Structure 1
Amino acid sequence: MEKHRHETHPEIVKRLKRAEGHLRSVIAMIEGGRPCLDIAQQLHAVEKAITQAKRTLIQDHLDHCLEDAVGALPRDQRQPIEDFKSITKYL
């Protein structure tokens, strides 16, 4: 099976590894009895990193895979595709 890779994949991996490090810190903070506010702040950082990685992956998929599947369309028929790509930014 051919590997499925896009330009953004290294950046996504970097974000997820950062989130993984933050998550390890959160676990250590809980085990160490740190204040809930500190823990919540770190959990928020993990959540943001994962959300951004997901958003980047979805946008990349739409920009490449969807375009390949749909193929070239005349300019007047592209608006629904462009709208769909735009609305996914709110995921």
Structure 2
Amino acid sequence: MTNQHRHTTHPKLVARLKRAEGHLRSVIGMIEAERPCLDIAQQLQAVESAIRNAKQTLIHDHMDHCLDAEGSEQDRVELKAIARYL
């Protein structure tokens, strides 16, 4: 397992999460503007989906790049620990 925790997908993940952050701010504005609950729920679903996809991408990237193919005991423990977030 490598100690390096920056991967080629990280800049794209940061950009994706910043878009989700902006989208979440928009949802907050919708609530403050007393927009219909159906519209707000729909937009919250989109934010939740964006964050879930970012999380899955991060975990899959970690599994692909950080865990040795040989699979040491530490790697197996870490794989088990991170897989619970999927």
> In the alignment, which residue of structure 2 is the partner of 1:19?
20
Q: Note the 1:43-82 alignment, pairs <5 A.
A: 43-67=44-68, 70=71
The separation in 2 between residues aligned to 1:13 and 1:26, in whole angstroms, is 20
Higher helix share: 1
Residue segments in structure 1 that go unaligned for 5+ positions in a row: 72-80
Identity value in percent: 68
What TM-score does the superposition give when structure 1 sets the normalisation length? Answer: 0.71
Q: What amino acid does structure 1 have at the position aligned with 2:22?
A: G
The separation in 2 between residues aligned to 1:48 and 1:19, in whole angstroms, is 9
RMSD, aligned α-carbons: 2.6
Report deviation, 1:15: 1.1
Q: What amino acid does structure 1 have at the position aligned with 2:55?
A: K
Query: Number of matched residues?
Result: 75
Structure 1 residues 5-39: Cα deviation after superposition (integer angstroms, max 9, x where no partner):
10110111111011101100010000000000110
Structure of larger gyration radius: 1
Report deviation, 1:59: 0.3
Q: What amino acid does structure 1 have at the position aligned with 2:65?
A: H
